[in-house]
């Protein structure tokens, strides 16, 4: 069993546990509609993981350009976004700039994915649901006032430097490209650490459930971005971090519906 298969299996176990806990709360009528959509989202990703584990065991080291698990991943991003917007009406008109930035960032990611893989249809369709999730997330963050002006500027700068660095790798000499690539990894994982630390911190604080939800979802969003931009050991590191995000999101949603 290689490291990737082990992490896929571990993540599947964590996803299954989160689904079971979510369903228990729903059956006890302690979970609102957002918990229902969250459970459906995690179930979709769990099915994707199981599909990939089975496929990888049957056809190891054979790349499939377009697989059925992609549909489950699209459903996952859509349902995860709905779980954010279902509890209360989000003021999308109040966050036009943030939504535009999210869509632009998603579009830049799609262009990079196509440059790396050449899988146009898959990457574009994934980009649509990824952009939807990011758009809902930044709207939620804006509506709740979780980030101040300086933090928004830092986040925009972070995204710009990341996209600029990844784009430059296609254009500059290989030796310099390796340095820029490593710098991008430093930026990616440093930002992961910030979001994860904030998510854990606000999940611990009793009266900060909105901040806990926003930071927990943001941590996953950035970790997912890191996974899509990583390879080899860095991909495995990002996958491990993604495993941490699901319990954090579950705890934050549970507290949000309990303390409202």
Most confident region among 2-6, 39-43, 251-255 by mean pLDDT = 39-43
* 162 vs 118, higher pLDDT: 162
> What's the whole-number average pLDDT of the chain?
87
Q: How high is the pLDDT of residue 201?
A: 93
Q: How high is the pLDDT of residue 196?
A: 96
Among candidates 237, 193, 239, 201, which has minimal Cα distance to 219? 193
Are 18 and 250 in contact by the 8 Å Cβ rule? The answer is yes
Q: What is the largest CA-CA distance in the chain?
A: 59
Q: How high is the pLDDT of residue 162?
A: 95
Q: How high is the pLDDT of residue 56?
A: 66
pLDDT digits (tens, 9 = 90+) for 182-216: 999 999 999 999 999 999 999 998 777 888 999 99
Q: Per-residue pLDDT for 154 more than 90?
A: yes
Among candidates 199, 91, 192, 207, which has minimal Cα distance to 138? 91
Whole-angstrom Cα distance, residue 32 to residue 37?
A: 9
Going by pLDDT thresholds of 50, 70 and 90, the confidence category of residue 226 is very high
Long-range interactions of 115-123: CB distance < 8 A, separation 24+: 115/170, 119/65, 119/66, 121/66, 122/65, 122/66, 122/70
pTM of the prediction?
A: 0.91
pLDDT digits (tens, 9 = 90+) for 26-62: 887 765 788 889 999 999 999 888 877 776 666 666 5
pLDDT digits (tens, 9 = 90+) for 74-132: 899 999 999 888 766 776 677 788 889 999 999 999 999 998 887 888 889 999 999 99
Angle of CA points 180, 229, 213, to nearest 5°: 120
Q: How high is the pLDDT of residue 156?
A: 94
Q: How high is the pLDDT of residue 47?
A: 87
Q: How high is the pLDDT of residue 167?
A: 93
Whole-angstrom Cα distance, residue 148 to residue 138?
A: 13
Q: How high is the pLDDT of residue 224?
A: 95
Alpha helix segments (H runs only) across the chain: 3-27, 33-58, 69-85, 96-117, 120-144, 149-169, 174-204, 209-228, 232-259
Whole-angstrom Cα distance, residue 199 to residue 258?
A: 18
Q: How high is the pLDDT of residue 93?
A: 72
> Is the backbone of residue 113 left (phi > 0), alpha (psi -120 to 50) or beta?
alpha
Q: How high is the pLDDT of residue 65?
A: 56
Q: How high is the pLDDT of residue 206?
A: 76
* 64 vs 77, higher pLDDT: 77
Q: What sign has the CA pseudo-torsion 124, 125, 126, 130? A: positive
């Amino acid at each position: 069993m290689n490291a990737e298969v082990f992490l896929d299996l571990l993540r599947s176990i964590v996803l299954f546990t989160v689904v079971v806990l979510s369903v228990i709360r729903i059956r006890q009528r302690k979970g609102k509609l957002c918990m229902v959509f969250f459970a459906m989202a995690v179930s979709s990703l769990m099915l994707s993981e199981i599909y990939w584990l089975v496929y990888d065991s049957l056809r190891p080291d054979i790349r499939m350009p377009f697989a059925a698990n992609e549909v489950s991943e699209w459903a996952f991003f859509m349902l995860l976004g709905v779980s954010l917007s279902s509890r209360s009406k989000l003021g999308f008109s109040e966050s036009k700039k943030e939504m535009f930035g999210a869509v632009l960032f998603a579009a830049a990611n799609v262009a990079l994915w196509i440059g790396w893989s050449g899988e146009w249809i898959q990457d574009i369709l994934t980009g649509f649901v990824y952009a939807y999730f990011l758009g809902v997330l930044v709207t939620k963050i804006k509506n709740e006032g979780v980030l101040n002006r300086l933090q928004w500027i830092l986040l925009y700068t972070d995204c710009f430097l990341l996209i600029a660095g990844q784009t430059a790798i296609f254009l500059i000499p290989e030796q310099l490209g390796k340095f820029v690539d490593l710098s991008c990894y430093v930026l990616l994982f440093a930002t992961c650490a910030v979001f994860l630390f904030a998510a854990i911190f606000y999940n611990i604080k009793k009266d900060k459930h909105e901040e806990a939800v926003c930071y927990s979802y943001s941590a996953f969003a950035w970790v997912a971005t890191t996974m899509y931009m990583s390879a080899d050991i860095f991909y495995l590191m990002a996958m491990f971090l993604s495993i941490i995000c699901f319990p954090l999101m579950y705890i934050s949603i549970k507290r949000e519906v309990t303390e409202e």
